[in-house]
Amino acid sequence: MRLLWNRFRADRSAVFGAVVAGLLVLLAITAPLLTALEGQDTTSFHNDLVDSARGGVPLGGFGGISPQHWFGVEPQTGRDLFARIAEGAQVSLLVAICATLVEVLLGVAVGLLAGLSGKLVDALLSRVTDIAIAFPVTVFSLALLAIVPETFPRPLLVAVVIGVFGWGGTARITRAQALSLRTRDFVAAARLSGASGWRVARREILPGLAAPVITYGALLLPTNLIAEAGLSFLGVGVRPPTSSWGQMLSSATTWFRSDPVYVLLPAFMVFLTVLSFTLFGEGVRIALDPRSTRLSRKAA
């Protein structure tokens, strides 16, 4: 563990990723608090802050940034942008994390079953996994999100849909790892001492899966974040009045010329989040990979 920490700390880009990701999580957790501190909320209209003569462009420079409105206000409605960006962080991260959990749980379950059962089950599950991997998540999520009734809580639905279509990779990795672990001596020893199949899976195989699954999960998170932003951008993800970055970007498309800050702000947030979590995930992967050292990573 200590070794891991040292190796991780030596990796500058991973540390940068970890710090920024940590700050973003903090922003998401404390979003209501910070918004209260700013003295604004996510939904109040401020008609006095937008120039109705010019189609509702925020008054003042840089999208109406002021001590009262840290990130300016939304064009047309004058809603506070900092409050909406912060709420967006909450929604985006929550959806991404839940989706990743669903993917990892499903993936590990299917992968273990495939890796430890007989040939027939393995062949069947592997085939299903192949299909799941080949499918375009967005197309199917889009179709599904269209038909589920509006009353179902939207962020949860988005998370489940992304997760249900994205477990293939985890399953493949779990299966491969389980196949290699089951031939090891300590597993044979456990079997011989009379442990049941379930017990072998839980006590002997599962701990050996932790490293690859954590690594993969860390890299899944940014992918899921992009998926959520994409779905919301297409208008089928998180619905108003809840704000999300993707949804802000889609409404920003008509404000290019008059209010560029409104476009750049959510775009930058998505970029920063995905980048930091990716660097962090890469750092975890490299630290957990016994073969890699600083030197060989430079080369690879």
Partner 1 sequence: MLGYVVRRLLGAIAVMLAMSAVVYVLFYLMPANPAQLVCGPKTCTADRLAMVEHSLGLDEPLYVQYWHFLSGLVVGRDFSSGPSVLHCPAPCLGYSFQYTEPVLDKILEALPVSLSIVIGAALLWLTFGIGAGVLSALRRGRWLDHAVNVVVLGGFAVPAFITSLLLLMVFCVYLQWLPFPSYVPFDEDPLGWAQNLVLPWIVLALVQLPPYVRLSRSGVLETLTEDHIRTARAYGLTERRVIGRHALRGALSPLITVAAADIAAVLTASMLTETAFGLPGLGRLMVQSVNQIDLPMVVGMTLLIGFVIVLCNAIADVLYAVVDRRVRVA
**Closer CB to partner 1, 15 or 234, in the complex:** 234
Q: Look at residues 93, 18, 25, 5 and name the one whose alpha carbon lies nearest to residue 279.
A: 18
Contacts to partner 1 from residues 140-179, by CB under 8 A: 140, 142-149
CA distance 14 to 212: 18
The footprint of partner 1 on residues 91-130 (CB under 8 A) is 127, 130
Query: Which listed residue (28, 161, 278, 287) binds partner 1 by CB under 8 A?
Result: 278
d(CA 100, CA 163): 6
Cβ 91 to partner 1, closest distance in Å? 16
Least distance from partner 1 to the Cβ atom of residue 71, Å? 18
Q: Total residues at the site for partner 1 (CB under 8 A)?
A: 44
238: left (phi over 0), alpha (psi -120 to 50) or beta: beta
Question: Using H for helix, E for strand and C for coil, what is the string for 157-170?
Answer: HHHHHHHHHCCHHH
Given the rule CB under 8 A, which of 21-29, 189-197, 222-230, 285-293 is the region that contacts partner 1?
Answer: 222-230
3-state secondary structure of 234: coil
The three-state secondary structure class of 51 is strand
Candidates 17, 1, 14, 2; CA nearest to 294 is 14
Q: Which of 222, 237, 281, 283 binds partner 1 (CB under 8 A)?
A: 222
Residue 27 Cβ vs partner 1, minimum distance, rounded to whole Å = 18
Binding site for partner 1 (CB under 8 A): 127, 130-131, 134-140, 142-149, 222, 226, 229-230, 233-236, 246, 249-250, 252-253, 256-257, 260, 263, 267, 270-271, 274-275, 278, 298-300
